[in-house]
Amino acid sequence: MSKTAIPLKDNRIIPRFDLATEILIIKSEGRSEILDKKSILLPRSSAEELCHLLLAENIDTLICGAMEEEYFEFLQWKGVDVFDSVAGAWDLAFIRWQTNQLASGDILEDRQVEGKKI
C-alpha cells in the first residue's frame, strides 16, 4: 500500500507548499487502485508543520507546487518521494503519477489566451 499527499486549494494543486491549509491524502494499492481518500484541514499554513504532518501520516509520495529547497531536501532525506512545482488539477497529476509519467515542474493545465486554446 502507498500513501500520496497533495496540498490543494479549490481542488487544484496549490501553487505554494508552504501556504497550504488543505491536504488530500490518497491511499492506493501501489500505483494502481485508490483504496481511500481523506482531506486534512490545517488551522494555519506552515511548511514545517506540514512536513511533520506528512511524516506522522507516513506519506510515501508528495505532489505539490513550489517548495523551498530546505523542505524538499528534508522530505527526501526522510524517504518521501517529492514531485514539486507541479501545477493543475490534482486528479490529472495523480493519474500521471500512477502511470509513471509525472515529473517535477509539470504544468497540467490547458493553455489559453483570451479564451482561445493555444
Partner 1 sequence: MRPFPHIQTLMSRPLDFVQLLDEIPLGVIVLDTDRRVVHLNQHFQAITGMDIKKALGIHCGNILRSGACITNCPVLTMNGTHRSITCQSDIINMDRQKLPIQLTCAPILDTDGIITGYIETVENLTSKASRTLDQEAAYSFANIIGRCEKMASIFQTLPMLAQSETSILITGETGTGKDLVAEAIHQTSQRAAGPFIKINCGALPETLLESELFGHTKGAFTGAVENKPGRFKLAHNGTIFLTEIGDLPLALQVKLLTFLDDKVIYPLGGTKGFDANVRILAATHRNLEEMVDQGKFRKDLLFRLNVARIHLPPLREREGDIRLLLDHFFSHYTRLISKDLDGFSTDALACLMTYGYEGNIRELKNIVEYAVNVTQSPQIETQNLPAYLLDSSPSPTLPPNRIPAPKAPSPQVLRAQEKDMSPTATWSQVHREMILEALKASGGKKQAAARRLGISRSTLWRNIRKYNIQ
Applying CB under 8 A, among 8, 14, 59, 102 the residue interacting with partner 1 is 14
Q: How far is the CB of 38 from partner 1 (least distance, A)?
A: 23
Specify the stretch interacting with partner 1 by CB under 8 A; choose among 29-37, 54-62, 80-88, 90-98.
Answer: 80-88
54 φ/ψ sector (left φ>0, alpha ψ -120 to 50, else beta): alpha
DSSP-derived secondary structure letter, 64: -
Burial of 42 (0-12, 13-18, 19+ CB in 10 A): middle
Q: What value, to the nearest 5°, has the Cα angle with vertex 45 and ends 98 and 36?
A: 30
Applying CB under 8 A, among 25, 62, 67, 102 the residue interacting with partner 1 is 67
Applying CB under 8 A, among 2, 15, 91, 98 the residue interacting with partner 1 is 15
Q: How many C-beta atoms surround the C-beta of residue 50 within 10 A?
A: 25
Nearer to partner 1, 3 or 12 (CB): 12
Q: Does residue 44 touch partner 1 according to CB under 8 A?
A: no
The contact mask relative to partner 1 for 87-106 (x = CB under 8 A, - = no) is: xx----------------x-
Q: Does residue 7 touch partner 1 according to CB under 8 A?
A: no
Q: Does residue 46 touch partner 1 according to CB under 8 A?
A: no
